Amino acid sequence: MPTTKKPAAPAEKAKPAKVTAAAKKAPPKAAAPKAAAPKTAAPKAAPKAAAPKAAPAAPAAGPTEGAPAPAFSMPASGGRTVSSAALKGKPFLLYFYPKADTPGCTKQACGVQEALPQLGKLGLEIIGVSPDPLPPIEKFAAKYKLTFPLASDADQKVAAAYGTWVEKSMYGKTYMGMERSSFLVDGQGKVVKVWRKVKPEEHAAQVMEAAKTLL
């Protein structure tokens, strides 16, 4: 008789393995917040030292009353040359002005021209001096019919000798320029009167009054 095979018993389903506590993954730990670095106060800027005040300008050098007048020789308007040597034995006025054909200098020069007849009677020679070259000086003399010599001190040597080439200031800037000053010199070549920072409108009258003392 044929043998009949017994049907195989069904395989048992595998039971899922139990997950142990150790096997459970712990939740990731949150990273501890980094301690903020303490802020260091920025060093305070040292207070700026106050700029030192400019020292007052030294008084202008040059001859004082009673001192000998420095020698000079300069080209002048009208093709002339003026010099202390040629004026020896004669009283004269040497007046320094900043620039030809400017308002103050024009007023001063015209005042001297008007007073020239009276000054001539006192035997006084008049010489105007500026740092301008001769061409603008010639135009200035011709424009206002100025007959007395206007000399060109283009290298400022005579101005330096008389202490009239000085430091000036305008709008906060300093520069070198001619100080409006006058020197009355007697026949012996001695300075008898000095005017510093002359007022153009008063100059001729001041010179005329002082020149009377030379008679």
Report pLDDT digits (tens) over 14-28. Answer: 455 555 544 455 555
The percentage of the chain sitting over the pLDDT mark of 90, rounded to a whole number, equals 64
Residue 88 belongs to some domain of the structure: yes
Q: Which amino acid is at 135?
A: P
Higher local confidence (pLDDT), 173 or 20: 173
CA atoms within 13 A on the CB side of 170: 4
Residue 187 belongs to some domain of the structure: yes
Contacts (Cβ under 8 Å, ≥6 apart) of 148: 112, 113, 116, 125, 126, 127, 128
Residue 208 belongs to some domain of the structure: no
Domain count, the chain: 1
Rounded mean pLDDT of 115-138? 96
Q: CATH code at 182?
A: 3.40.30.10
Residue 173 belongs to some domain of the structure: yes
CB 194 within 8 A of CB 85: no
Alpha helices in 30-147 (DSSP H): 103-121, 134-143
Residue 214: pLDDT over 80: yes
Catalytic choice (105, 109, 150, 151): 105
Residue 202: pLDDT over 70: yes
- Quote the CA–CA distance of 62 and 64 in Å, as a whole number: 7
Distance between alpha carbon 27 and the CA centroid of its chain, in Å? 79
Residue 118 belongs to some domain of the structure: yes
CB 214 within 8 A of CB 92: no
Residue 55: pLDDT over 50: no
- Quote the CA–CA distance of 70 and 7 in Å, as a whole number: 151
Q: Active site includes 110?
A: no
Contacts (Cβ under 8 Å, ≥6 apart) of 187: 89, 90, 91, 214
Rounded mean pLDDT of 160-180? 91
Range of the domain at 136: 73-203
Contacts (Cβ under 8 Å, ≥6 apart) of 174: 167, 168
Higher local confidence (pLDDT), 29 or 130: 130
> What's the pLDDT band for 45 if we cut at 50, 70, 90?
low
Q: Average the pLDDT over each of 7-16, 36-45, 147-156 and give the range with the smallest value.
A: 7-16
Residue 119 belongs to some domain of the structure: yes
Tell me which residue of 169, 167, 193, 168 sits closest to 181, measured CA to CA: 193
**pLDDT at residue 34, as a whole number:** 57
Residue 135 belongs to some domain of the structure: yes
**pLDDT at residue 57, as a whole number:** 46
Residue 59 belongs to some domain of the structure: no
How much is the mean pLDDT over the chain? 83
